[in-house]
């Protein structure tokens, strides 16, 4: 066994955020880390999320205004979804198996059925939505609207805006 920490670096248009875990014990792996596949996705991949129900990875291709869909078994691109605006934030909600894609230029969040890739809804939010998170307990999606210093709260069971809350300047 060995002691380890996990560090995650997330890059977006606003810069980089780093998160670190506490120290924990791990068994030494029986194989070295290695690249198992390289898959083309589109122009300027900016965000991604993993759908563990359908074993898919969704990648926001900022300049293409689309999401690339990668099969988690084959590691090949198997589809795409046109979301019609520059997406820089993605979120997967396992409670409804939907992917939420925030469009900075349209000030919307597009809701996509992760199994069928059908667009279910387009929700108007604040100006320049650039980050999202899901609250499992309340089943709410929180959208940081960078340009108008607000957070839009979406009820994930109805895909309706529950509230918009003013916050400090330029939330990320």
- Mean pLDDT to the nearest integer, 124-136: 94
Give pLDDT tens digits for 36-83: 777 888 888 888 899 999 999 999 988 888 899 999 888 889 999 999
Residue pair 67/92 in contact (Cβ under 8 Å)? The answer is no
The pLDDT, as a whole number, for residue 30 is: 62
* The model's pTM: 0.80
- Mean pLDDT to the nearest integer, 104-121: 96
- Mean pLDDT to the nearest integer, 90-97: 94
Nearest-angstrom CA–CA distance, 98 and 109: 12
The pLDDT, as a whole number, for residue 78 is: 94
Neighbours of 47 (CB within 10 A): 24
Nearest-angstrom CA–CA distance, 155 and 139: 6
85-121 in b/e form (b: 16+ CB < 10 A) is bbbbbbbbbeeebbbbbbbbebbbbbbbbbeebeeeb
């Amino acid at each position: 066994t060995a002691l380890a920490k996990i560090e995650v670096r997330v890059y977006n248009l606003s810069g980089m955020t780093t998160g670190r875990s506490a120290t924990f014990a791990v068994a030494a792996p029986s194989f070295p880390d290695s690249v198992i596949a390289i898959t083309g996705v589109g122009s300027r991949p900016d965000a991604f999320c993993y759908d563990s129900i359908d074993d898919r990875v969704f990648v926001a291709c900022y300049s293409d205004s689309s999401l690339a869909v990668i099969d988690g078994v084959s590691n090949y691109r198997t589809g795409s979804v046109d979301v019609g605006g520059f997406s820089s934030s993605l979120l997967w909600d396992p409670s409804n198996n939907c992917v939420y894609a925030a469009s900075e230029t349209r000030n919307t969040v597009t809701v996509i059925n992760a199994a069928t890739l059908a667009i279910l809804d387009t929700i108007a939010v604040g100006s320049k939505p650039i980050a999202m998170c899901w609250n499992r307990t309340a089943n709410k999606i929180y959208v940081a609207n960078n340009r108008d210093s607000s957070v839009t709260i979406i009820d994930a069971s109805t895909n309706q805006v529950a509230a918009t809350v003013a916050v400090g300047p330029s939330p990320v």
